[in-house]
A and B are shown apart, each in its own frame.
With several copies, the nearest count.
Chain A
Amino acid sequence: MNSVVPNNKSVARSQASFDLKTWGPFIALMALALLGVLINPAFLGLDNLSNMLTRSAFIGIIAIGATFVITAGGLDLSVGSMAAFIAGVMIILMNSLVEQFGPGLTTILLGIGASLLLGLCAGFINGMVTTKGKIEAFIVTLGTMGIYRSLVTYLADGGTLSLDWGVRDIYRPVYYGSLVGIPIPVLVFLLVAVVGYILLNHTRFGRYCFAIGSNEKVAEYSAIHVDRIKTMTYMLQGVCVALATIIYVPRLGSASGATGVLWELEAIAAVIIGGTVLKGGHGRIWGTVVGAIMLTMIGNILNLTDAISNYLNGTVQGIIIIVAVYLQRASWRKSAP
């Protein structure tokens, strides 16, 4: 009688799977952490954990911006070289401001301001060319990726731009300092994540991103300024890149053509691992945060062991990423066959 295979669990699924969709990435993260501990107990060291989180802040902050862009159906390949470019300009600017203002707060604040402005403009350009020029985001940002990368190489004369040592000493705490025991980059990351979460899930802008990513036509017929919102996602991405750069520069105090290479791929990977859909219409900030931490963690775990030939790092990394995502997706699927 009951021969026909039914789908009758679907609503139960809808709730259970919703939970699992939310918690899936966290579960995968825990599994990964367990692996880390098994490989080397030093993994759980406070220093190591704090190092790892601090590191993940760059990619994490950039990936939060990317979550918006991707949710709204776009793509930004230029973030890595944009970061390098912003870092370069910021260093040049601060180095020259030192002469006027000395290595003080003014110099740093002006540098930070310029960085944010630059990020905003860079994002604006990406957004306008994509929307007004009606060119695929892939092409536009591939183009600007090359442009920024070569501009920073040009600015650095092929070498490295180094921040004035005086400024560096004052600026240093932005990366190395901590507040109530938490490293500042981690705080910034958390702050950006919270703001991003609110923006994506509790504001009009976020809602519009979802709508545009799902169906641009419907968005247009819902009186949404599609081009404007899309451009804004790129601008937000730019600001996120600028923020990441602001906490990146005090770390090593330098920028070169090699800065931020492949960050775009890492950022997009973090976003997708987190459960955001690459084709748009569905985005999750906490997923992205976990994705970013997961990527950093894989690198960290590999550095904690010499069991594997160095040459095979990439293999292990690749396998872990695929397995982690599989586990995570599987946990959704189990409840929804």
Chain B
Amino acid sequence: MSTQDQPLLSARRICRSFGPNQVLFDIDLDLVPGEVHALLGENGAGKSTLVKILSGYLSATSGDIHLDGEARHYRGSGEAEADGVVMIHQELALAEQLSAEENIFLGRELRRGLFLDRKAMRERCREALAELETRVDPRARVKDLSTSDQQMVEIAKAITRDVRVLIMDEPTATLTEHEVEVLFALIARLRERGVAILYISHKLREIERIADRVTVLRDGRLIDSGPMAGRSKEALARLMVGREITDMYPERSALASDAEVVLEARNMVVPGAVKQASFTLRRGEVLGFGGVVGAGRTALIEALLGLRPRSAGEVLRNGQPVALRHLRDAVRQRIAYLTEDRKGKGLVLNMGLRPNLTLLNLRAYCRPLIDRRREEQAFHEAIERFDIRLRTEARTAAELSGGNQQKLLLAKVMTIDPEIVIINEPTRGIDVGTKHQIYHFVRELTEAGCSVILISSEMSELIGLSHRVAVMCAGVLTGVLEGEQINEHEIMQYASGIKGVGVDEQRRA
């Protein structure tokens, strides 16, 4: 095993341009065995681009990569993988129509003679998934899995290979806290085994916990690199964003005690996902939805919006029953919905940025033909308002960095000028600076009399923003917490069904 000061993988003066625009400038990076190296930076700073170069998915415009001191020129990810350099993508790289097991072994199937050794693969696959403590069925098609399960499959895919360098690009963006713990335990084991780990995340708390060394990028340039010891979250945030971030969560807007109910759901039942859930939303209120992934929050909200079939339930808007059969009906009721799955359901990846932005409310840009100027104008406003960073002339949404995609999606949802905003995991893959902006944005909305439903798996987000928090567990809305009750401990108790109404009764029924 190599010594501590002998880097396993090192990059020297890596530059990369997309067309005339350079996104990486002379980046140096060393990965040492048994060390977790964190890579930080704002959205669009160039993190994903850098790691894609390291693992052979992209080639650098100039610069060198050395493995064990030997120069390497990867022409494809396969070659890098053969060297033990494995990457977990930010943008999930799974074949959707294949099963979890098939994906995990894709390209290096186990065989007995000429035939696939399905049993052995299932065995290994179960082991890997068990190590990750997930309940994913190896035979389930990836298409049918939730995003967090897909992420777990991606991780399983990586760890079943012979890794020497493991690169993780925002692995926890879609994971639950429990899954994050499992992942950290795994990272610890790998570190013990002498694997060099490069870890990208926008969650500074995580960085603080696991990183041995950090490197910060800003606008494609290396800002700082050094041991983690002695650095604080705040200092890192300042390095990344280039300014001080205070009061992460703004003061909650005051909620009039007589604020009328703008939206009410009664006895919603979604077969297989939600049992008899009811809740209300008042004007100017932020209603949080907590619970572990798979608790049925998405199912409940999407059934309410007419995106999924429901077997029972009633929706009232301003006290009037409304029939929302299609998302269009919801849009007419000025309800906006931000999906949690930005690539699968949010953005048309091979379409331009402007068409993506205006797709939800295209009507507003037509008179009667689509008015490109108005579209352009809206786009510029969106860039301003949501701080979308365009360092290259991205033609399609796929070319945006992950965080900027998320911002574009948020901008798209807001084009309908909604009264009720339902945001599902809004800060997924978003950097601290922008997160801060989004939180303030939520506050502005409520100030302006809009109401917000916030589905989030980030406890601090729920606690920091919500006036009330509805908690779900296994399809049952176990309780709605208010005021003092809104704290981590309490939410956890409701989310796991220990506290709260009728979990057991309903489950038995």
Contact = CB atoms under 8 A, between A and B. Distances in A.
Given A9-B19, A10-B19, A202 B294 contact: no
**Interface extent on B, as a size class?**
35 or more
B496 A3 contact: yes
Interface in B290-321: 292, 294-296, 307, 309
A11 B138 CA distance: 10
A222 B97 contact: no
B111 A204 contact: yes
Contacts, number: 211
Contact of A218 (B60, B94, B295): B94
B272 interface: yes
Q: Which of A207, A219, A220 has the most CB of B within 10 A?
A: A207
Q: Which of B76, B331, B359 has the most CB of A within 10 A?
A: B359
A223 B360 contact: yes
A8 interface: yes
B167 to A, nearest CB: 14
Nearest to A226: B326
Interface in B132-158: 135, 137, 139-141, 144
B115 A4 contact: no
Interface string B29-66: 00000000000000000000000000001111111100
B106 A219 contact: yes
A263 B304 CA distance: 46
Interface string B404-432: 00000000100000000000000000000
A146 B493 CA distance: 63
B219 interface: no
B328 interface: yes
A5 B294 CA distance: 9
A202 B117 CA distance: 8
Given A11-B392, A203-B114, A223-B107, A1 B348 contact: no
Given A3-B73, A282-B97, A207 B116 contact: yes
A13 B108 CA distance: 29
Contacts of B73: 3-4
Given A8-B61, A12-B19, A207 B106 contact: yes
Nearest to A217: B345
Contacts of A12: 19-20
Nearest to A227: B326
A55 B94 CA distance: 41
A236 to B, nearest CB: 15
A221 B339 contact: yes
A220 B370 contact: no
A6 B106 contact: no
Nearest to B493: A1
Nearest to A336: B144
A4 B60 contact: yes
Contacts of B339: 221
Given A211-B359, A221-B327, A337-B309, A14 B63 contact: no
A221 B345 contact: yes
Interface stretch (B239-247, B248-256, B349-357, B446-454): B349-357
Interface in A197-214: 198, 202-204, 207-208, 210-211, 213-214
Contact of B106 (A7, A8, A11, A211): A211
Contacts of A208: 362
B366 interface: yes
Contact of B295 (A6, A8, A14, A211): A6
Nearest to B72: A4
B59 A5 contact: yes
Nearest to A1: B496
B78 interface: yes
Interface string A83-121: 000000000000000000000000000000000000000
Contacts of A282: 97, 350
A310 interface: no
A198 B19 contact: no
B261 to A, nearest CB: 24
Nearest to B412: A222
Nearest to B112: A202
10 contacts: A3-B497, A6-B61, A8-B16, A9-B19, A202-B369, A204-B366, A214-B95, A214-B97, A215-B94, A220-B76
Given A1-B496, A211-B98, A218-B345, 5 more contacts: A1-B64, A4-B295, A6-B61, A6-B294, A218-B94
